[in-house]
Structure 1
């Protein structure tokens, strides 16, 4: 007689997240390019943008190499937009799975954002390995602090994505608004410029953006000579805590209605 193995709720939850995670890997990398395209695509983009910036502003931007200046901006903004997109579509994408009572909407969101984080970590490792073997001038003065900023930005994007995913369950048109809001974020988050390039009287129009704070602070953590101005790690941490709390509160209140939609 077969033995029945009882699992705790946490174990069931972990198994569900892992199963959705594997499902996402298979769906994303089932072509010939696979994960290599997720690495090559941003790498080419960074090189092209860095070359264009160096042609206009020279090889150095605010006491750090232009390539590294662009690298931090691209990696952080790509993580933010990629995670936001994955989290905001996770519920709708995995809705058929919610017929199984073990699968809850938050499980799908966690699986997809962890997948996005893993992909970006691989991209970062490969990029810095290439930089090392190419003997390119690079400096990481405080890598733990940079990792902390990266984690905070990831939590912000997860929280915003969860809020949009919940809203889209009730109002499908919300995805159009999200798409409209995402486009300017690419240009307002400090990829192509530093806040130091902008006159101080206009800083108030830009420094509300926590992504810009994360990008500028990471540059300063890597190159102390960068001298970031107009940004605050306190503001970034405050945005992270507030958004995570608000997103979880929204989910706690509405998750049963989300399942019935």
Structure 2
């Protein structure tokens, strides 16, 4: 009988395999027990789009600044959901998988990355389906500046990862933050430009909202996708700086707290 050989893996291969296993576990946990399954990931944002589009329709128009209201609102709700979900679902990523930390290869950062990847996968899937639906109904879905859209999305993802690391670390140090963070983020739904644009607001309001990096990201995405004029108060540099600073703070907090995540 031949001796079985065990192939050794390097650290990168172990990292990849652990993240993939946790990713599949997250998929099963979130969607496997529901009949609608993956359809719910599409239904939820489309419900928001339908409600706000109907509100505009009741005002006698299905357009916002000369563009399809559903597309305009979709370009706001999806980036916001990506940020919000990455941040809030990071809070309990470690605690939900604590039993797996008995395995030497599994660390809290793996659980966080698996959740971020799932949110990004859902984002891409829902965007593709929705754009196909609009195209089917002969809505102009051409992208004005793909580079700007991708750049704004990239730094929004960096911002959301940094925020997720921050909330994960804060919840580890102060467990009551798990209830406080969702309360603090609810106003962002109305302050991030989901169903309105800077061009429809007074200059004073835009100047105040421009401190919100999510609002900046959504405005940049709409500028890149629809070709809308950008307010002088919206700064791409500001978004980049806030995203990178948030990421650095998040990494610092994670370094300070990851051992406690495993031990508690």
Q: Give the TM-score taking structure 1 as reference length.
A: 0.93
Give the structure 1 partner of residue 77 of structure 2: 74
- Kept after mapping to 2: 8 A contact 1:91/1:108: yes
Task: Verify: 1:46 aligned to 2:49, yes or no.
Answer: yes
Alpha-carbon distance, 1:57 to partner: 6.8
- SS of the equivalent of 2:92 reads helix
The CA distance in 2 between the partners of 1:137 and 1:158, in whole Å, is 32
Contact in 1 for aligned 2:88/2:167 (Cα 8 Å)? no
- Please identify, of 226-235 and 17-26, the stretch whose mean Cα deviation from structure 2 is larger: 226-235
Aligned to 1:91: 94
Q: Confirm or deny: 8 A CA contact 1:216 1:228 kept in the other structure.
A: yes
Q: Which segments of structure 1 move beyond 6 Å, counting only runs of 4 or more?
A: none
1:251 counterpart = 2:261: no
Tell me the secondary structure at the aligned position of residue 222 of structure 1.
Answer: helix
Q: Does the 8 A contact of 1:159 with 1:247 survive in 2?
A: yes
The match for 1:208 among 207, 211, 217 is 211
Q: Tell me by how many angstroms 1:220 deviates.
A: 0.9
Q: How does 1:87-126 map to 2 (within 5 A)?
A: 87-126=90-129
- Deviation of residue 29 (structure 1)? 1.6
74-83 or 195-204: which moved more? 195-204
Tell me whether 1:175 sits opposite 2:173 in the alignment: no
**In structure 2, distance between residues paired with 1:254 and 1:172:** 12
Q: Report the counterpart of residue 228 of structure 1 in structure 2.
A: 230
Structure-1 separation of matches of 2:103 and 2:192: 40
Cα distance in 1 for partners of 2:41, 2:220 equals 25
How many Å apart are 1:20 and its aligned residue? Answer: 0.4
Across the aligned residues of Structure 1 and Structure 2, the Cα RMSD in angstroms comes to: 1.6
Is the CA contact (8 Å cut-off) linking 1:24 and 1:112 kept in structure 2?
A: yes
State whether residues 169 and 254 of structure 2, in contact with CA within 8 Å, keep that contact through their aligned partners in structure 1: yes
Distance 1:214 1:185 in 2: 13
CA contact (8 A) 1:217 1:228 kept: yes
Cα distance in 1 for residues equivalent to 2:215 and 2:16: 34
Distance in 2, Cα, partners of 1:239 & 1:196: 23
Q: CA contact under 8 A between 1:92 and 1:165: conserved in structure 2?
A: no
Q: Identify which range, 97-106 or 53-62, moves more after superposition.
A: 53-62
**Structure 2 alignment gaps of length 5 or more:** none
The question of whether the paired residues in 1 share the 8 Å contact of 2:172 and 2:257 is answered with no
- Listed as ranges, the matches of 1:32-43 within 5 Å are 32-43=35-46
Q: Secondary structure at the match of 2:187?
A: helix
2 CA distance for matches of 1:176 and 1:65? Answer: 37
Is the Cα–Cα contact under 8 Å of residues 95 and 261 in structure 2 kept in the other structure?
A: no
Residues 158-185 of structure 1: CA distance to partner in whole angstroms, max 9, x if unpaired?
Answer: 2111111111112110112201111101
